[in-house]
Structure 1
Amino acid sequence: MRKSIFARLNNWIIFSLMTIVVLTVVIASTILINFLRKEEIKRVDILVSAIKFQQEVTTPSLEAQALVLQIYSSNTTIPVIILDKDDQLIEHKNIAQDIEGKPKEIVALAKKMAKNYPPIELKFSNQNNQFVYYDNSKLLNNLRYSPYILGFFILCYFLFSFWFLRTIKKTDEGYLWAGLAKETAHQIGTPLSSMIGWIEIMKLDMPDYEGVSEIEKDIERLRTISERFSKIGSVPELNDMNFNKTIQENYDYLKTRVSRKINFSLHLPTYNILVPHNKILMSWVIENLVKNAVDAMKGEGTLQMFVFERNKNILIEVKDTGSGMTKQQAGNAFKPGYSTKKRGWGLGLSLAKRVVKEYHNGDIKISQTEIGKGTTFRIIIKKA
């Protein structure tokens, strides 16, 4: 529990740091763009002063004329349009080439510029005042969206990194569970081989003893369990086709081993369903779901299995009248290590999900659950 709290706290710390980084980049970029905008406005003010000086001074010195010309020619980025008081075009610079030589369109552009920045009025003694219209340079207009674009890419990078690390973690967990399953199969296999040898000796000494027959059944059961675990982590062959037969055999086996107080029933379609599957692993999945249902009902209730077609899928439902689950329990049911039972290891449903999703290209989920009324597990497998 303490580890879970620390894990959540770390996730929130990482999320907060990511948010701070993105906001810092956006704010810093915005401040820089505002600074560049103010600098361009200052350049326009200097340009206006130079124009006013040039027109008011009748005989400027050569140095003054050179300075005015230098100021005017230094503006190679900021669009500027000068109109008189009657909106007649006097001069323009750094505007789009497609409207060059079109006074009406240039005047219209000047009026559009006025929406962003109010024109600067040049007042002269002869009352022939002029108005200087200007706007941001193309570079500044493009930079205006850069904070958001940059922030978006940084956010995408962090999200990708988070997804990548999480995928690696899940892969490592998958290898861990697969290794654990194979090791379990290996550990079972050693005493199982010895037991098979001893049961053969017992059959020679006591061929008619009923206990020998029952022990032989249990040994066969252990062999099946060992084979199931050995297939986890490797790619199994999907060479079984008759899905009805697999479900029916599994049902017949489980029915003799559940409590008689449980009304256990199977509903199969009247025709054969052909689905490529691994009989041993699919039986294990069904057995896990049935055992979970029996535990949830505490040995008494109604347990139903349904097999039916829907579109291009085969659906298997295991429906019980047990204690049901909360939303949180249902959301964590298939996570490795999670169990609502005191003695549960939390491996059954996670391995069942692995068998269905990775080996049979299907899906398994809780389609319905309600506290006090029961739970329905659903397996979805694509039709052959």
Structure 2
Amino acid sequence: MFKQYIGWKFVLVSMAVVIIVATIWFVSSLSQRIQEEETKKVATWVEANRELLQAPADANLNLAVEIVTNNSTIPLILTDEKGEIIDSRNLDSTKIVRDQGYLQNQLENFKKKHPPFIMEIDAKQKIYYYIYYGDSLILKQVRYYPYIQLLVVTLFIVVVLFALSSTNRATQNLVWVGLAKETAHQLGTPLSSMEAWLELLKETEGNESVVTELGKDVDRLKLITDRFSKIGSVPKLEEKNIVAQIEHMTAYIRKRAPQRVQFTVHAGDPEIPAMISPPLFDWVVENLLKNALDAMEGKGTIDLFIENHPADIIIDVTDTGKGIPKANYEKVFKPGFSTKKRGWGLGLSLAKRIIEDYHKGRLFVKSSELTKGTTFRIILRK
């Protein structure tokens, strides 16, 4: 499903690129043709004005008058040979009245866009008018259209990708919850049977040592079942001493770790209260410690640093293992990602979900260096 999601992202982005490139090419070609047509219209307008000025009194000037009066879209500015503005057409009249520099600014813009048309008024006295023109509103809208379309397409892609991401995450959550609930259900039946057999063993003398060890294993299975049963439901958060909670889980892992691995808990305060779900938080610490043990291959040190800050509690789990490449900092939390030959790659993914979804905190790789070790950081908000 993840590959399918990536495939859809690629298809959407590719379609957007094709649409945008095709639109820009088409609009550029269209705007060029419109500009050529407008240049021809201005030339016709200039010729009509020249005819009106130079025609004899009895000439029929109806066509020239119609051409001059029909130009209502292309902005024009008429100047003399000294550059003084004589007249203007199709510009904002309110701005002309309110802003004395408006016409001059428009003239400078027109000069940058198009060369002027020169209209001869009196050849003997060398009187010439210069007609400068700009782009019509329609041409401006056509040129801005690709940018508007780019914005619309970008928003569309963002919405679609967000919807796909939400759907993908919701599906993953349903799988997690279903897997966890089914695991708890499957463990429940043999666990009940084991508890019954344990009670029978207690009634027979000489089984004291067996009963004690078997009882520990049954309690452990009950804890695991309880953890899985809490996935998918809103856990009850309790105020606990986070230092004692971490020390307890560290002591549990220490007994089951190789003797050449040293565990040390560093805490500035002996008691740091925090709102946690004890079974689920213990699961996170256990996963991080087991992950550190796997990375160290039987020897090294694991240090847990607990810092009490005004707004949050920071817990760093540092090992001296083989380290994690920087490219895998985020991948280690993805379901199914694992560097081990055995395992499903679910431990760190579950740990991240427990901290971020249930405790509203953060879990991430703070730092790592190949062959030297890794530090995972937990941040719990107070």
TM-score relative to the length of structure 1: 0.90
- Give the letter aligned to residue 35 of structure 1: R
- TM-fit CA distance, 1:105: 6.5
- 8 A Cα contact 2:9 2:161, kept in partner: no
Q: Is the 8 A contact 2:5 2:164 kept in 1?
A: no
| Contact 2:12–2:157 (CA under 8 A) maintained in structure 1 | no
Q: Secondary structure at the match of 1:114?
A: helix
Paired residues of 1:26 and 1:150 also in contact (CA < 8 A): no
1:196-211 matched pairs, under 5 angstroms: 196-206=195-205, 208-211=207-210
- Which residue in the other structure is 1:224 paired with? 223
1:321 corresponds to 2:326: no
Label 1:204 to 1:111 Cα distance change in 2 as closer, same or farther (>3 A).
closer
Secondary structure in 2 aligned to 1:377?
A: strand
SS of 1:316's equivalent in the other structure is strand
Q: Is the 8 A contact 1:25 1:151 kept in 2?
A: no
Per-residue deviation, 1:90? 4.3
CA distance in 1, matches of 2:101, 2:148: 36
- Structure 2 residue aligned with 1:83, among 79, 83, 93? 79
TM alignment of 1:147-186, pairs within 5 A: 147-186=146-185
Separation in structure 1 between the aligned mates of residue 58 and residue 205 of structure 2, nearest angstrom: 130
Partner AA of 2:374 in structure 1: T
Shift, 1:59, TM fit: 3.3
The equivalent of 1:113 in structure 2 is 110
Q: What's the C-alpha RMSD, in Å, of the aligned pairs?
A: 2.5
- Supply the distance in 2 between the matched residues of 1:210 and 1:90 (Cα, whole angstroms): 112
1:322 touches 1:374 (CA, 8 Å); kept in 2? Answer: yes
Moved more, 362-371 or 141-150: 141-150
How much has 1:100 moved relative to structure 2?
5.0
Q: Give the superposition deviation at 1:37.
A: 1.9
Deviation, 1:250, is: 1.5
Compared CA separation, residues 44 and 283, structure 1 to 2 (3 A): same
Look up the match of 1:362. 361
Query: Aligned in 2, Cα 1:192/1:106: closer, same or farther, shift over 3 Å?
Result: closer
- Give 1:313 deviation, angstroms: 1.6
Deviation at 1:307?
A: 1.1
Contact 1:83 1:132 in 2 (8 A): yes
CA distance in 2, matches of 1:329, 1:106: 61
> Which stretch has the larger CA shift, 359-368 or 248-257?
248-257
Does the aligned pair in 1 maintain the 2:227–2:279 contact within 8 Å?
yes
Counterpart for residue 291 of structure 1:
290
Paired residue for 1:234?
233
Q: How does 1:48-87 map to 2 (within 5 A)?
A: 48-59=46-57, 61-62=59-60, 65-87=61-83
- Aligned counterpart for 1:29 among listed residues 27, 30, 39: 27
User: In 2, are the aligned partners of 1:87 and 1:107 still within 8 Å (CA)?
Assistant: no
1:258 maps to which residue?
257
**How far does the alpha carbon of each residue in 1:73-119 deviate from its partner, in whole angstroms, 9 at most, with x for none?**
21112122223334455443212213259998646643542222121
Work out which of the residue numbers 77, 83, 96 in structure 1 matches 2:92: 96
Cα pair 1:308 1:314 within 8 Å, conserved: yes
Distance 1:166 1:101 in 2: 53
1:215 Cα deviation from its structure 2 partner = 0.6
Call closer, same or farther: CA 1:285–1:18 in 2, change over 3 Å: same
Any idea what the Cα deviations from partners look like across 1:228-287, whole Å, max 9, x if unmatched? 011111110112332222112212222222121211122223341111110010000000
Give the whole-Å Cα distance in 1 for the aligned partners of 2:147 and 2:175: 42
**Of 36, 39, 45, which residue of structure 2 is paired with 1:38?**
36
Q: Does 1:341 align with 2:340?
A: yes
Unaligned runs of 5+ in 1: none
Q: Supply the distance in 2 between the matched residues of 1:380 and 1:218 (Cα, whole angstroms).
A: 32
The whole-number CA distance in structure 2 between the counterparts of 1:102 and 1:211 is 99
Give the letter for the 1:361 counterpart: K
Distance 1:361 1:122, change over 3 A: same
Counterpart Cα distance in 1 of 2:82 and 2:254: 99
Contact kept, 8 Å, 2:262 with 2:300, in 1: the verdict is yes
Tell whether the 8 Å contact from 2:20 to 2:146 is kept in structure 1 after alignment: no
- SS of the residue aligned with 1:211? helix
Instruction: Please list every run of 5 or more consecutive structure 2 residues that lacks an aligned counterpart in the other structure.
Output: none
CA–CA separation in structure 2 for the residues paired with 1:15 and 1:227: 44
Matched positions, count: 379
| Paired residue type of 1:40 | E
Paired residue secondary structure (1:333): helix
123 and 214 in structure 1: CA distance in 2 versus 1, 3 angstrom threshold: same
Distance 2:310 2:40 in 1: 70
Q: Secondary structure at the match of 2:167?
A: helix
3-state secondary structure, aligned to 2:150: helix
Pair 107,193 (structure 1): closer, same or farther in 2 beyond 3 Å: closer
Q: TM-score scaled to structure 2, two decimals?
A: 0.91
